[in-house]
Amino acid sequence: MAEFTISDDVLANIKDQVILITGGSSGIGRATAQVCLDQGAKVVIGDLNPPPSDSNSDFQETDRIKFIQVDVTSWESLRNLFDQTNQLFGGIDHVFANAGVGPTTDFLDVTLNEAGHLEPPNLRTINVNLISVLYTINLASAYMKQLASRRPVNKTGSIVLAGSASSYQTFTAGDYTIAKHGVVGMVRGLMVKMENEGEIRLNAIAPSWTDTGMIPAQAIRDLGVPVQSAATVAKSVALLFADENRHGEVIYSAGGLYKEINKAEGGLVSAAEALNFPSDHPDDVVRVIFGQLPKP
């Protein structure tokens, strides 16, 4: 499981291709949109809110970049996103299922209603980080198969899922960890069938701590834990779009270095155990995020 770097040269294959990114207005999604635009791709950002822009921004709408409002937890809203993207550009080459939220609940908490009966747990994080990803895979697969004939011979579509280091570690943020483990489960559960069909590749990223605006990056650095830029992670997404040989992979990233861990020798568990995680105490980082641990 050798580490590798990513040069801009290997990303050139995405020029003029149509890329749909959910959660593309900020963080890793926005950084991925920027990398794709820099490589000459056409980008559709699906998000609740449009990306911040100014007169010098690449994110003002042009014939190469469009914003479509979407609620990824709604099947109808997501289907509309795919419909509109298809109408705008005549097809979709790659999809990044990136929309996500942080932890929102403790599944072991007990909440009672006014009648004293147990209330169901809050499933917001599961719905956004897991169920919407399944929706996105289903829609992406359907739309890409319909339009497979528009692609050059030996070119496939691809879907990239946003996992994280919590996809294979023990974290105290239960709902988030459950969802991100499920993301890797989707790759492992669908990769063989999709490989046999031969039209669409399925991969995921599993980055270490990343400055996305969702976490207090400096507070984490104060623990002695490195935090990478969203642009670093974005290059791994673009690589999975561009490289026709990558399927069923999960790419871990930290500080500009990348490792494939799902198909590594010894399997995912062995590969994950071999990683030098950037914190010996990942739960300390989780507690800092929620203000539960004094900052150094």
Q: Which residues fall within 8 angstroms of residue 196, CB to CB, at 6 or more apart?
A: none
Lowest mean per-residue pLDDT among 17-26, 102-111, 118-127, 281-290: 281-290
Question: What's the pLDDT score for residue 56?
Answer: 58
Encoded amino acid at 212, one letter? T
Identify the active-site residue in 42, 135, 143, 180: 180
Question: What's the pLDDT score for residue 293?
Answer: 44
Q: Which residues fall within 8 angstroms of residue 87, CB to CB, at 6 or more apart?
A: none
Q: Is the pLDDT of residue 171 over 90?
A: no
Q: What is the pTM of this model?
A: 0.91
97/135 Cα distance (integer angstroms): 9
- Bridge pairing between strands 257-260 and 250-254: antiparallel
CB 180 within 8 A of CB 164: yes
Q: Which residues fall within 8 angstroms of residue 86, CB to CB, at 6 or more apart?
A: 92, 143, 147
Q: Is 180 annotated as catalytic? A: yes
Question: What's the pLDDT score for residue 296?
Answer: 41
> What pLDDT digit, counting tens, does each position of 108-162 carry?
999 999 999 999 999 999 999 999 999 999 999 999 998 777 777 778 999 999 9
Spell out a b/e string for 16-50, using b for 16 or more CB atoms within 10 Å of the CB, else e.
Answer: ebbbbbbbbbbbbbbbbbbbbbebebbbbbbbeee
Q: Is the pLDDT of residue 215 over 70?
A: no
Residue 187's pLDDT band, with cuts at 50, 70 and 90, is very high
What is the DSSP track for the chain?
---B---GGGGGGGTT-EEEEETTTSHHHHHHHHHHHHTT-EEEEEESSPPP--TT-TTS--SSEEEEE--TT-HHHHHHHHHHHHHHHS--SEEEE---------TT---B-TTSPBPPPP-HHHIIIIIHHHHHHHHHHHHHHHTGGGSPTT--EEEEEE--GGGSS--S-HHHHHHHHHHHHHHHHHHHHHHHH-SEEEEEEEESSEESSSS-HHHHHTTT---EEHHHHHHHHHHHHH-TT--S-EEEEETTEEEE-SSSTTHHHHHHHHS--S-S-HHHHHHHHTT-S---
Q: Is the pLDDT of residue 82 over 90?
A: yes
Q: Which residues fall within 8 angstroms of residue 5, CB to CB, at 6 or more apart?
A: 256, 257, 258
Identify the active-site residue in 135, 168, 176, 252: 176
Q: Which residues fall within 8 angstroms of residue 222, CB to CB, at 6 or more apart?
A: 295, 296
Q: Is the pLDDT of residue 224 over 90?
A: no
296/286 Cα distance (integer angstroms): 15
Average pLDDT over residues 58-83: 96
Cα separation values, 69 from 25, 27, 73, 90, 162, Å: 10, 17, 12, 19, 20
* Residue ranges of domains in the chain, CATH in brackets: 8-289 (3.40.50.720)
204/210 Cα distance (integer angstroms): 16
Residue 272's pLDDT band, with cuts at 50, 70 and 90, is confident
Q: Is pLDDT larger for residue 225 or for residue 231?
A: 231
Spell out a b/e string for 261-278, using b for 16 or more CB atoms within 10 Å of the CB, else e.
Answer: bbebeeebeebbeebebb
Question: What's the pLDDT score for residue 208?
Answer: 84
